[in-house]
């Protein structure tokens, strides 16, 4: 059994990561300031006496007594709607929060896993995106608080690896969805689910020809755990390469919800990336991982949760 700190534990991905680590028999310390997370996401985790939750802002000094084997840093604002509302908090959690958690990992001689993002590639000029692609990010653009904080976070991780010989992992996560996403999260799948289940038109931004590649949460958790357990110290893309237009996504959501909602077209947010698709060759060869759940199946598995939420 290992003793593992998970930041962002009350969030969508963090809570599923906690559940998985507890199932595998580890002791898990969750940390969250609940800026976008919800304690209900941890209802299953609290069944285990090996789980505890600290309400703490990771941009402040972190004290954990006893040993730690791993630090998994998932805390961040993650939805474009949230990070547009809280640009400074977003920058702080990616910069100061990453610094504090790296310092803790160094102190405890723990393995460190950083949850980076496909947004480090910005609005990519290369599709699909391999890890070697250096990206197309506007440093003063409307999404830069998120993109640049994650790029800076990766650079800090690299610094701790080179300077302090810290054992590090960097996951570049692509769009992930599933139960426990907040209905008011603002990301496309909770928006479409809420709209389809309440008989309102689905709001497609722009002409809907922009693409994303959606990964179901159980596949993402498998990928993150495989990365943690590997010895790969370079960034690895984790995501589902099944690329869809937002119009296609809207059609699948209407089908799986059995909704007769229509579609309305709204303005595209500025600098919304046109395409996004992971090249997962590295995850396949180095982690032996690839996603198993199709878009339709993942959406079908999520409907019950969103129905209960609306
Ligand atoms: P989420 O918003 O559901 O969870 C993030 C959690 O971090 C929340 O519970 C929030 O309260 C917490 N948090 C934020 N700032 C904090 C702070 N200063 N101190 C303590 N806690 C803080 O988001 P998510 O989708 O679960 O994302 C988890 C991680 O994965 C994030 O780092 C995100 O950038 C990354 N990621 C997610 C996706 C995705 O599609 N879900 C894609 C790329 C990267
Ligand atoms: N989007 C949309 N309607 C919505 C919410 C989002 O058409 O109600 C689009 C958004 O413009 C983007 C894509 O869906 O092109 C994915 O957006 P999301 O906010 O989920 O994540 P992103 O990949 O942009 O970070």
What φ, ψ does residue 75 adopt, rounded to 5°? -65, 130
CA distance 272 to 143: 9
Residue 116 forms beta bridges with which residues?
172
Mean pLDDT of the chain: 97
* Ligand 2 centroid – CA 80 distance (Å): 8
Ligand 2, pocket-test mutation among 13, 147, 184, 205, most atoms within 8 A of CB: 205
Q: Beta strand pairing status for 176-177 and 263-266?
A: unpaired
Query: How far, in Å, CA of 82 to CA of 68, rounded?
Result: 31
Closest C-alpha to 98, from 64, 71, 73: 73
Q: What is the pLDDT of residues 102-124, one digit of tens each?
A: 999 999 999 999 999 999 999 99
Which one of the listed residues 112, 146, 160, 177 is annotated catalytic? 146
What ipTM was assigned to the predicted interfaces of this complex? 0.98
Q: Phi and psi of 291, rounded to 5°?
A: -65, 150
Average pLDDT along the chain, 310 residues, taken 10 residues at a time:
97 98 98 96 98 98 97 96 94 98 98 98 98 98 97 98 98 98 96 98 98 98 98 98 98 98 97 97 98 98 97
What are the structure tokens assigned to 71, written together?
A: 């630090």
Backbone φ, ψ for residue 35 (5° rounding): -65, -35
Cis before residue 128, ω within 30 degrees of 0?
yes
pLDDT on residue 3: 98
Burial classification of residue 140, based on how many CB atoms lie within 10 Å of its CB (0-12 exposed, 13-18 middle, 19 or more buried): exposed
Q: Which atom of ligand 1 is nearest to the CA of 73?
A: 32
Lookup: tokens for 203: 């709001």
The model carries a pTM of 0.98
Distance 165 CA to ligand 2 centre (A): 38
**CB 237 near ligand 1, within 6 Å:** no
For residue 149, give both structure tokens: 């904080």
Which residue is it, tokens 């690896």?
161
Predicted local distance difference test score (pLDDT) of residue 242? 98
pLDDT at 1: 85
Ligand nearest to the CA of 94: 1
In angstroms, how far is CA 138 from the centroid of its own chain? 21
**Catalytic residue flag (residue 83):** no
Please report, for residues 69, 83, 96, 145, 225, the alpha-carbon distance to residue 90 in angstroms, rounded to integers and kept in the order given. 27, 6, 10, 6, 25
Sketch out the chain's domains with CATH numbers: 3-178+215-240+277-292 (3.40.50.720), 188-209+243-275+302-309 (3.90.25.10)
Phi, psi of 286 (to 5 degrees): -90, -30
């Amino acid at each position: 059994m290992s003793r593992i700190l998970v930041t962002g534990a009350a969030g969508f991905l963090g809570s599923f990561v906690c559940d998985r680590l507890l199932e595998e028999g580890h002791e898990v310390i969750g940390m969250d300031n609940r800026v976008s997370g919800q304690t209900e996401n941890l209802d299953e985790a609290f069944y285990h006496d090996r789980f505890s939750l600290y309400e703490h802002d990771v941009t402040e000094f972190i004290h954990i007594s006893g040993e730690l084997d791993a630090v998994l840093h998932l805390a961040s604002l993650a939805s474009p709607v949230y990070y547009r509302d809280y640009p400074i908090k977003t920058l702080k959690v990616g910069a100061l929060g990453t610094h504090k958690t790296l310092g803790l990992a160094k102190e405890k001689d723990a393995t460190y896993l950083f949850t980076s993002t496909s947004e480090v590639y910005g609005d990519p000029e290369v599709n699909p995106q391999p890890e070697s692609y250096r990206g197309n990010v506007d440093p003063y653009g409307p999404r830069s608080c998120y993109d640049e904080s994650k790029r800076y976070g990766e650079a800090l991780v690299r610094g701790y690896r080179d300077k302090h010989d810290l054992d590090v992992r960097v996951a570049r996560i692509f769009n992930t969805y599933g139960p426990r996403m907040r209905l008011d999260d603002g990301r496309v799948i909770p928006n479409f689910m809420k709209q389809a289940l309440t008989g309102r038109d689905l709001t497609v931004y722009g002409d809907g020809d922009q693409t994303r590649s959606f990964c179901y949460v159980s596949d993402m958790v498998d990928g993150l755990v495989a990365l943690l357990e590997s010895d790969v110290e370079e960034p690895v893309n984790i995501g589902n390469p099944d690329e869809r237009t937002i119009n296609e996504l809207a059609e699948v959501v209407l089908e799986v919800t059995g909704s007769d909602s229509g579609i309305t077209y709204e303005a595209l947010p500025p600098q919304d990336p046109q395409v996004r698709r992971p090249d997962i060759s590295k995850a396949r060869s180095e982690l032996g991982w690839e996603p198993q759940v199709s878009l339709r199946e993942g959406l079908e598995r999520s409907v019950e949760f969103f129905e209960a939420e609306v």
